[in-house]
């Protein structure tokens, strides 16, 4: 996390108004404003592991990570500052969760870029905390209301599922390809061969589609799945359980929590962090794979054809090949050699 986002800059225009507030920050936190904001107290709840990593260094136990906030995450907060994400179902889940825990009468602030659809917050919260716009700057909107009625919230109501080649895929709001298998992952699946063996790492596992499909035709693989998203971690666990597949699933910021080496690393890596274009995660994936592949081990990723990953793969491993491609996507493969190990 570095410079303040436009949404945070809008909040800073009103910083004097929060000096006595006990604030809970939540939503699409892209910078360290919660750790630096002038207020009586500040807490954070986030579903994004990398955001929690950055904020917990400054806020210790006052920064919490998880799928759903609990009462002690909210504690005695009297103000919510919520950064609107690009995904409306994700916002619905998070806001209903947090508002169900806050006291009636507390201040609710929603801030976000106009292109994210932040205007829809007014309709979403009209029955609980009627909002009015209090500022508009930096192509962002800032809305304020007071909680008049707590919503009811139950995680179970937000689960969804779909089928891929006879496999049950469990999903939650905010998980990549929540409504069905995306074209990139489907292309990657066509390149995975039956009877694969060894240790497999599914990096950025989403709903666990890649791992479930691989294990379905290669039951001897030993699966490890990780993602920065708490919703993705829980969805992947549920997908494996629904299909009787064993595997270790945990939150990780790329390789930050990953131990050991693997025979195959598969990924459909993102090139956005929230609304912002970001190549950081995929660059870290490619560079870090050198330290987490066995000799002869393979990295296989799918990406939009316009992204600069062939050069990055060549720089890290010395070569790459294209296994499959469409007009939009390409599946790249590279292999760990003795030469790459010394890189």
Q: Tell me the average confidence (pLDDT) per consecutive run of 10 residues in the chain, 343 residues long.
A: 85 95 97 96 97 96 98 97 96 98 98 95 98 96 98 97 95 89 93 92 96 94 97 98 98 96 94 59 93 96 90 94 95 84 45
pLDDT of residue 343: 42
Given this model, what pLDDT does residue 308 score? 86
Q: Where are the domains of the chain?
A: 6-155, 159-336
Alpha helices in the chain (DSSP H): 6-12, 33-36, 49-59, 71-74, 88-99, 121-124, 183-189, 209-217, 230-242, 280-292, 309-317, 338-341
Q: Do domains 6-155 and 159-336 have the same CATH topology?
A: yes
CATH top-level class of 6-155: alpha beta
3-state secondary structure of 38: coil
Q: What is the pLDDT of residue 179?
A: 81
Predicted pLDDT of residue 339: 55
CA 183, CA 242: separation in Å to the nearest integer?
A: 23
> Residue 342's pLDDT is what?
45
CATH superfamily to which 159-336 belongs: Vaccinia Virus protein VP39 (3.40.50.150)
Beta strands in 104-253 (DSSP E): 107-113, 132-137, 140-146, 160-164, 167-171, 198-203, 221-227, 248-251
């Amino acid at each position: 996390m570095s410079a303040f986002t436009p949404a945070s800059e809008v909040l800073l225009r009103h910083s004097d108004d929060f000096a006595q507030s006990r604030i809970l920050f939540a939503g699409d936190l892209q910078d360290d404003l919660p750790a630096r904001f002038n207020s009586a107290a500040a807490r954070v709840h986030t579903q994004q592991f990398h955001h929690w990593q950055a904020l917990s260094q400054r806020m210790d136990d006052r920064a919490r990570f998880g799928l759903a906030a609990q009462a002690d995450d909210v504690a005695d907060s009297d103000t919510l500052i919520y950064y609107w994400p690009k995904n409306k179902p994700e916002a619905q889940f998070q806001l209903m969760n947090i508002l169900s825990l806050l006291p009636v009468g507390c201040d609710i602030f929603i801030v976000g870029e106009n292109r994210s659809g932040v205007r829809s917050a007014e309709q979403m919260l009209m029955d609980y905390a009627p909002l009015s716009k209090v500022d508009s700057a930096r192509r962002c909107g800032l809305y304020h209301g007071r909680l008049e009625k707590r919503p009811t919230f139950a995680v179970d109501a937000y689960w969804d599922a779909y089928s891929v080649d006879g496999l049950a895929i469990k999903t939650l709001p905010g998980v990549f390809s929540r409504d069905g298998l995306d074209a990139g992952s489907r292309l990657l699946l066509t390149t995975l061969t039956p009877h694969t063996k060894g240790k497999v790492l599914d990096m950025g596992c989403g709903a666990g589609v890649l791992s479930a499909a691989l294990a379905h035709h290669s039951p001897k693989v030993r699966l490890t799945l990780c993602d920065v998203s708490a919703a993705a971690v829980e969805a992947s666990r549920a997908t494996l359980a629904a299909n009787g597949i064993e595997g270790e699933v945990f939150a990780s910021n790329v390789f930050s929590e990953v131990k050991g080496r693997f025979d195959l690393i598969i990924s459909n890596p993102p090139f956005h962090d929230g609304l912002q274009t970001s190549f950081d995660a995929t660059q870290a994936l490619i560079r870090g794979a050198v330290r987490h592949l066995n000799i002869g081990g393979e990295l296989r990723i799918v990406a939009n054809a316009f992204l600069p990953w062939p050069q990055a793969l060549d720089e890290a491993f010395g070569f790459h090949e294209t296994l499959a491609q469409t007009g939009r996507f390409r599946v790249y493969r590279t292999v760990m050699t003795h030469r790459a190990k010394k890189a």
